[in-house]
Structure 1
Amino acid sequence: MEYFQAHASEIIGVAIAVAAVAVAATYFYHSKKRKGCLDPDNFKEFELVERKQLSHNVAKFRFGLPTPTSVLGLPIGQHISCRGKDSVGEEVVKPYTPTTLDSDVGYFELVIKMYPQGRMSHHFREMKVGDHLSVKGPKVSIVFHLL
């Protein structure tokens, strides 16, 4: 006990230093802008890891990103282009906006309403867990900045 009383100021100094390092490391980790997985010029494949039917014609699709700590990299107000095949096998590309935040790590989600005659709707209706979706983006024409 006498040792702690004699060295209290040293112990407090070390504790303050450790706390300062922890705060700085946390700030650096969270403020560092993570590079997103998207490519605006080339389609990339993302695996469907979960599909949840929300109604007779609406489903939520969860796609995995390359690592559990990856982010999609989609700025506010932007969308992605998704590519698939319609009912006759022709390629279809359609824009969608994920329902997840860009701060969500490891996955992104799309909530899709599937129309009976919709060309891209056919592709989503046919998707099973383990299938891949071709995605590129963001499609940037207007950039929003938070103040």
Structure 2
Amino acid sequence: MDALQSRRIEAISIAVAVVAIGAGTAYYLYITRKPKPCLDPDNFKEFKLVKRTQLSHNVAKFRFELPTPDSVLGLPIGQHMSCRGKDSVGEDVVKPYTPTTLDSDVGYFELVIKMYPQGRMSHHFRELQEGDYLAVKGPKVNDLSIQCLAWIRL
């Protein structure tokens, strides 16, 4: 009986170890799993404007949807993205912006934009309506961000 009982204990111990390793691996993969970022640093991608909220006479909040409800933008802290639009005479304009949402926000990103009367990109945002698309690429790192991050690491 002692041999049979020790084999059962050994089998139960192995089973518990296998379950613990499996659960630990699943937890690790769940925690470290990161969605693929939507931004492309080399090519402009189009994002649909799903909501425009006027905050004042010259400031509006623009909410753009990402390709899937669980997508993330892929814009780390200290970096910005380039937005492309048309000015009042139809010429292409590209200007850097930083979203007001975090990179952990899924399914959308938001921009709060102050629109200046003579601003070339301001014209594009004034004309942008829900259902329209905005061309965006990034992330872009500026020299000041690199210097700040280097200083923080010291």
TM-score range, shorter chain: 0.7 to 0.9
Cα shift at 1:89:
0.4
Distance 2:139 2:75 in 1: 6
Unaligned runs of 5+ in 1: 1-9
1:75-86 alignment to 2 at 5 Å?
A: 75-86=76-87
Q: Residue in 2 aligned with 1:46?
A: 47
Distance 1:84 1:39 in 2: 17
Distance 1:89 1:128 in 2: 17
Distance 1:59 1:25 in 2: 43
Q: Aligned pair in 2 of structure 1 residues 26, 51: CA closer, same or farther (>3 Å)?
A: farther
Q: Residue in 2 aligned with 1:6?
A: none
Q: Residue in 2 aligned with 1:4?
A: none
Distance 2:110 2:73 in 1: 10
Identical-residue share of aligned pairs (%) = 75
Q: Residue in 2 aligned with 1:120?
A: 121
Distance 2:32 2:69 in 1: 18
Cα shift at 1:24:
5.5
- The number of residues matched between the two structures is 132
1:23-42 alignment to 2 at 5 Å?
A: 25-42=26-43
Distance 1:54 1:35 in 2: 32
Higher radius of gyration, 1 or 2: 2
1:91 aligns with 2:72: no
- The answer to whether the Cα contact below 8 Å between 2:63 and 2:110 also exists between their aligned partners in 1 is yes
- The answer to whether the Cα contact below 8 Å between 2:52 and 2:130 also exists between their aligned partners in 1 is yes
1:59 aligns with 2:60: yes
Please, what TM-score do these two structures have when normalized by structure 1?
0.80
Distance 2:27 2:55 in 1: 38
Distance 1:27 1:110 in 2: 33
User: Partner of 2:118: helix, strand, or coil?
Assistant: coil
Q: Residue in 1 aligned with 2:138?
A: 137
Distance 2:82 2:96 in 1: 4
Cα shift at 1:35:
1.9
Q: Residue in 2 aligned with 1:71?
A: 72
Q: Residue in 1 aligned with 2:105?
A: 104
What's the Cα RMSD here? 2.3
